[in-house]
């Protein structure tokens, strides 16, 4: 009983100490009649409102806050005081016009897992140089050469789903697809054994990325730290082989190896590994989540599914056993598919918000954003605002027949830190859709409603589904 009582006293003291310091900080930041902190709640000490955010449907949590407090409000998430911004003008202010006042920020445990030299942890010249390298290697001119190889990956995966005849976890399988496409764009054609070593260790890192950071041996995070070191070693081996064989490739690794800054300095192997792994992380889960939602929206919209199928079958070389490879021109001439893709990205809003940190005290619309506070432009609130997208909960690709208002549609972010691989993401989605619609049928198994986090929002249980092949003359999906 004495231990229990002592522990209770300690908890109370910690609670009071944290509460006092939060109140003290708020008073200090709003004294002298200057701008006030935005309205809102900081929740419990340290925990803040993290539990509420991750236990509710994302639309509910963010929309409830906005309805109560307006388009700018404060909260406390993941141990950090935050200001959330829910308007296009605010998103532009933070990400574009006044981006110099805000820096990208991530928990230290996540920086360690990906690598501290990854481009999205930085700003300035270093970020600008690396972003240009990534954009160049993933530009339309480069990725259109990958189409037949991405097609092979897509068809092989779809065949495996149909061949097994078993229920699959769609999200997990989509992660395999986006991983293989990512490896292709980063390294080109790797030896199978090296690719498997990369995949094995990456899966361990992926599992530990969102786990509790601890140095205790045997924990998910500790295993991930060790696997991350092995990933660097594997990348180093690939670099050594390229140098030995004097290979000059146009993939991302080749661009990183050939980089020279204004002083002639090259990137270290650690910098190269961090950026290779960082790009792979940025691409895999987001694209896999988007593809999983796309299958869900197809399942829910039968007439739209049939219209999309007709568009792909009627495209040159579409459908049939003697189907010809897709061409770049075909991928750019599927207007309904493009609108469907954009509406899927709007509805799902895989990245609900992005993190920035104020580097100085910033005043915005009469409110104070204190130095060191996190700032979160809320893409989800903007994408689901009826002022910009009428009847936002209705799935309607026709809304993209007209370009959306500036800064109201940001599925790939905005500003200098917007996703540099968005062209590749859209291409791999379109290619998988093409072969799925022209060669396969599927059915979702079990409950078709609900949402979970992995850590991005995905349909419940990863959307279990069963797939099988069909010819273009088969009866339509029911």
Residues spanned by the domain of 380: 29-469
Q: What is the CATH number of the domain that holds 399?
A: 1.10.630.10
Cα dist. 296→109, 170, 303, 413 in Å? 33, 10, 14, 23
Residue 18 lies in a domain: no
| Sheet strands (E) in 197-294 | none
pLDDT in tens, the chain (478 residues): 344 444 444 444 444 444 444 444 554 444 556 789 999 988 876 677 877 777 777 778 888 889 999 999 999 887 789 999 999 999 999 999 999 999 988 877 888 889 999 998 888 889 999 999 999 999 999 999 999 999 999 999 999 999 888 999 999 999 999 999 999 999 988 888 999 999 999 999 988 887 778 889 999 999 999 999 999 999 999 999 888 877 667 789 999 998 888 888 899 999 999 999 999 988 888 999 999 999 999 999 999 999 999 999 988 554 444 567 899 999 999 999 999 999 999 999 999 889 899 999 999 999 999 999 999 999 999 999 999 999 999 999 999 999 999 999 999 999 888 888 999 999 999 999 999 999 999 999 987 778 887 778 899 999 999 999 986 444 444 4
* Contacting residues for 318 by C-beta, under 8 A, at least 6 apart: 312, 434, 438
DSSP 3-state of 38: coil
Q: Are 179 and 284 in contact (CB under 8 A)?
A: yes
Rounded Cα–Cα distance for residues 111 and 236 (Å): 20
Residue 340 lies in a domain: yes
How many domains does the chain fold into?
1
Residue 16 lies in a domain: no
Rounded Cα–Cα distance for residues 233 and 249 (Å): 20
pLDDT of residue 46: 65
pLDDT single digits (tens) 238-260: 999 888 877 667 789 999 998 88
Residue 205 lies in a domain: yes
pLDDT of residue 8: 43
Residue 49 lies in a domain: yes
Structure token pair of residue 35:
């701008």
Binding site listing for heme: 419
Structure token pair of residue 217:
């041996």
pLDDT of residue 61: 83
Q: Residue 425: name the closest of 239, 242, 290 by CA.
A: 290
Torsion angle of alpha carbons 26, 27, 32, 36, nearest 10°?
30
Binding site listing: 419
* Eight-class DSSP state of 265: P
Rounded Cα–Cα distance for residues 81 and 46 (Å): 9
Q: Residue 461: name the closest of 220, 205, 176, 167 by CA.
A: 167
pLDDT of residue 52: 78
């Amino acid at each position: 009983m004495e231990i229990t009582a002592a522990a209770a006293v300690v908890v109370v003291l910690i609670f009071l100490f944290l509460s006092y310091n939060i109140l003290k900080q708020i008073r200090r930041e709003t004294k002298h009649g200057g701008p006030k902190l935005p309205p809102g709640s900081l929740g419990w000490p340290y925990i803040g409102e993290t539990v509420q955010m991750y236990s509710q449907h994302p639309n509910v949590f963010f929309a409830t806050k906005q309805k109560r407090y307006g388009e700018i409000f404060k909260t406390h998430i993941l141990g950090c005081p935050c200001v959330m911004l829910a308007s296009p003008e605010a998103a532009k202010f933070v990400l574009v016009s006044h981006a110099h006042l805000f820096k990208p920020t991530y928990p230290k445990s996540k920086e360690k897992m990906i690598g501290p030299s990854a481009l999205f942890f930085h700003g300035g010249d270093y970020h600008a140089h690396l972003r240009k390298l990534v954009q160049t290697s993933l530009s339309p001119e480069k990725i259109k050469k990958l189409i037949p190889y991405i097609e092979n990956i897509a068809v092989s995966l779809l065949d495996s789903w149909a061949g097994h005849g078993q229920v699959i976890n769609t999200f997990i399988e989509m992660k395999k697809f986006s991983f293989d496409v990512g490896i292709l764009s980063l390294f080109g054609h790797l030896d199978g054994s090296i690719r498997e070593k990369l995949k094995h260790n990456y899966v361990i890192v992926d599992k530990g990325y969102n786990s509790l950071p601890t140095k205790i041996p045997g924990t998910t995070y500790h295993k991930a730290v060790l696997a991350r070191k092995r990933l660097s070693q594997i990348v180093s081996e690939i670099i050594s082989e390229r140098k030995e064989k004097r290979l000059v490739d146009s993939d991302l690794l080749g661009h990183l190896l050939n980089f020279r800054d204004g002083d002639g300095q090259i990137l270290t192997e650690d910098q190269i590994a961090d950026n290779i792994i960082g790009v792979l992380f940025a691409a895999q889960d987001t694209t896999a989540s988007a593809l999983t939602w796309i299958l869900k929206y197809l399942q829910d919209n039968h007439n739209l599914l049939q219209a999309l199928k007709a568009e792909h079958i009627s495209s040159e070389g579409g459908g049939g056993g003697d189907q010809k490879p897709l061409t770049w021109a075909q991928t750019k001439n599927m207007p309904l598919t493009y609108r469907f893709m954009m509406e899927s990205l709007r509805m799902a809003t895989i990245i609900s918000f992005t993190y920035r940190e104020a580097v100085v005290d910033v005043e915005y619309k009469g409110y104070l954003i204190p130095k060191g506070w996190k700032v979160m432009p809320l893409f989800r609130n903007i994408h689901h605002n009826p002022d910009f997208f009428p009847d936002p909960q209705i799935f309607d690709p026709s809304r993209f027949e007209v370009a959306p208002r500036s800064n109201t549609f940001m599925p790939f972010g905005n500003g200098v830190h917007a996703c540099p691989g968005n062209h590749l993401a859209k291409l791999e989605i379109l290619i998988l859709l093409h072969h799925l619609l022209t060669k396969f049928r599927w059915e979702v198994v079990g409950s078709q409603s609900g949402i979970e986090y992995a850590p991005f929002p995905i349909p419940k249980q990863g959307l279990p589904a069963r797939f099988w092949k069909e010819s273009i003359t088969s009866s339509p999906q029911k």
